[in-house]
Structure 1
């Protein structure tokens, strides 16, 4: 790849120069694919509240919030002050700290189903830990997950998140499709794929593997499946199936925990066995957490003899993350949750109005403080309906470029997540730019 050598002279900005340097020392010039843009990434200089200023001095409204990991935007003063205080005391020790206990006590107080909690360093780790704990507890090898749902980098968790019409198989028996080349067939064989929001088909598929499944992994608002909330019927059917078949119900709330005071699971009349969390519970620092029923969490108990599921990590529960996360989450109290969700409701309403004014076949989905724009006339109900063909991908790219050029940073699926630093002012700007973007996209139809 020689993109770093192909810039026109006029493009040799600070960001272009940085990218040239990056290409020499990192594959593709970056460590995160999500920051790539054509012809090169832009590099942040600083962030404050809901605004980010790049190294060229351009200021933009941040509707990406580091892929949904910032609930209060950038450099929230109380979080910054608490972290600075902890920095003077140290960043990591081969000793336990009270910061871990304080934060564990606080997070468990937000959800009655969180009887115990264990901290790790990322959402991927949290999901991986939930799946391994499920196997350890049940003694079963297989897991089931929703087609198209993203759950991080773990071989088993990532299966079928990028399936296409050419390889996704029958809707009655979806194929287990690898993401990374070289994924072992044994991993694929141990992952059962179920369709989203289709309770009858899901249960029929699960029944075929009832004696083998350790757990069913569910995201209540799966981003790549279309950012459509899981229906009550779907959640209840899968949850009841796990109760009746001695499997665990595991929910991925790495993104969706922001949706309610105790997570999106509080939208439903259920109590998951295990919950994976991450992103915004770190207060801007790397974090993951596994929470759930004490009886199941005990498989991670290092005092067990023999050990059932050893779990450790050099930076797990480091006092910087524990302090930043606790302060950030204390600020995200019930009123803050409600206000942010109301602001997102307003954003979705104004986007719907913009679609109507532009008279374009588009729609908006989402829930809580998250939204996604589709270049489809009707909201998708599952991954196959949400799948973007080349034409829609072009339209979404056109919209994303338009939004970015007009000062809005979005997630690359044309999704946005709000922060408590935002007000009606930023939502009004979003609506105006969306309207002009829809009109530009219409010219390509």
Structure 2
């Protein structure tokens, strides 16, 4: 392996102009980040010339891997015609039609610039529609950087409170107490406790926010009973049900919600629907999204965005989603099944207390004997975090890129050889860290 002198020198430059030497903490690793030179298909080549199989895919945003030739050509053509305008473009309309046609619950849709912005807009729309202040969300679930969406995503045993009354715990120092007071925390996949908590706030909750396969909680699917209980409660109490499908839309043609009998009022999307460019979208009931409509007097939720629906993102996203048709979804999900089965076999052979979770084209390796059922089950103690860090270093040293939680997201350029390499490297890595377990 190289000595990474180029990356080390670049990081020294970066630390002089950016806090922590970066614009997103995701890239940080000890002793310094490694910097990409190019990506093609499922391979990333760093500035030292090392090739790695990319199972992170920019945290699930690259469903077709890097530099897909059809997307690249489409974007090049659009660049020749301009990158952003203060007037509309036809591709925005065409892509909105394409996405609305993909899910029967999408009556209307608006584009934004990130998953964080999509979730934020859903919450603001819910407040505008219901004239209520509070948002309910699952403990530990990640929904971006908005003050209300991020509450309790990093709660710890010493501050998360009672099982029957989880505390609203801030992430960022200086989060206003008023924001914490307006977020109701419920446990994952525990319908009875969740409904009992919600009942205490039934007249003030505008919306219940839910990720159906929450990455930070353990990448375990929400149960039908849990989702149905939240749907019934929101309908009975005048609140909205909001699904965060920023990551999970990849799991089915119409999103993860396709596997449930429930239709949400609003859905937030992002990541893969941008074709490799910054994107977000919120879709759902026409009457709810009408709070953003300025044509019938002042909008209840005025909404703007300089780069929302820019033609570069719209072009890339439309091509990416056209390529991710029913057949592509099924093929990638089948590869995901093989991946999780291969990882489970590696765990069995290594004979260590570990397990694998996930669905569709997503997986997560846990260094726990049993799959977590809630955020409190999934919580990673310091000793476990050290083992995870050692395993992640092993993957990286063996030319694999995973997300820092030991999670991965497949891309369409992948096939069985990449999965075989992942599973063999996992077996070797588990044997290597077994003395630490």
TM-score scaled by length of structure 1: 0.97
Offset, 1:12: 6.2
Among candidates 166, 176, 182, match of residue 184 of structure 1: 176
Q: What does residue 4 of structure 1 align with?
A: none
Offset, 1:144: 0.1
2:285 corresponds to 1:293: yes
Offset, 1:368: 1.2
2:355 corresponds to 1:337: no
Q: What does residue 390 of structure 2 align with?
A: 398
Q: Deviations over 1:384-414 (max 9, x none)?
A: 0000001100110010000010010000000
Among candidates 112, 117, 131, match of residue 120 of structure 1: 112
List aligned pairs for 1:260-299, cutoff 5 A.
260-299=252-291
Q: What does residue 320 of structure 1 align with?
A: 312
SS in 2 for 1:145: strand
Offset, 1:306: 2.7
Q: Deviations over 1:197-236 (max 9, x none)?
A: 0000000001110000000000000011111100111111
Q: Deviations over 1:54-78 (max 9, x none)?
A: 0000000000000000000000010
SS in 2 for 1:118: strand
Q: What does residue 94 of structure 1 align with?
A: 86
**How many residues are aligned here?**
436
* Cα separation, 1, equivalents of 2:208 and 2:13: 44
* Cα separation, 2, equivalents of 1:300 and 1:111: 21
CA contact (8 A) 2:4 2:48 kept: no
CA contact (8 A) 2:354 2:369 kept: yes
List aligned pairs for 1:382-397, cutoff 5 A.
382-397=374-389
List aligned pairs for 1:107-146, cutoff 5 A.
107-146=99-138
The runs of 5 or more residues in structure 1 that have no matched partner are 1-9
Q: What does residue 17 of structure 1 align with?
A: 9
Q: What does residue 220 of structure 2 align with?
A: 228
Q: What does residue 199 of structure 1 align with?
A: 191
Among candidates 200, 217, 229, match of residue 208 of structure 1: 200
2:274 corresponds to 1:243: no
2:168 corresponds to 1:167: no
2:27 corresponds to 1:35: yes
SS in 2 for 1:276: strand
Q: Deviations over 1:101-147 (max 9, x none)?
A: 01000000000010110000000000000000000000100010000
Q: What does residue 66 of structure 2 align with?
A: 74
* Cα separation, 2, equivalents of 1:141 and 1:32: 30
The runs of 5 or more residues in structure 2 that have no matched partner are none
Among candidates 396, 415, 425, match of residue 423 of structure 1: 415
SS in 2 for 1:25: coil
SS in 2 for 1:119: strand
2:34 corresponds to 1:49: no
Offset, 1:304: 2.9
Q: Deviations over 1:239-296 (max 9, x none)?
A: 1111111100000000000010010011100111000000000000000001011010
In structure 2, the CA distance between the partners of 1:12 and 1:362, relative to structure 1 (3 Å rule), is closer
Offset, 1:11: 5.3
Q: What does residue 83 of structure 1 align with?
A: 75
SS in 1 for 2:111: strand
Among candidates 89, 95, 110, match of residue 103 of structure 1: 95
In structure 2, the CA distance between the partners of 1:218 and 1:12, relative to structure 1 (3 Å rule), is closer
* Cα separation, 2, equivalents of 1:443 and 1:357: 15
SS in 1 for 2:261: coil
* Cα separation, 2, equivalents of 1:135 and 1:182: 23
Runs of 4+ in 1 over 3 A off after TM superposition: none
List aligned pairs for 1:331-410, cutoff 5 A.
331-410=323-402
* Cα separation, 1, equivalents of 2:414 and 2:298: 51
Q: Deviations over 1:139-165 (max 9, x none)?
A: 100010000000000000000000000
* Cα separation, 1, equivalents of 2:182 and 2:3: 48
Q: What does residue 3 of structure 1 align with?
A: none
CA contact (8 A) 2:137 2:210 kept: yes
CA contact (8 A) 2:115 2:271 kept: yes
* Cα separation, 2, equivalents of 1:143 and 1:106: 30
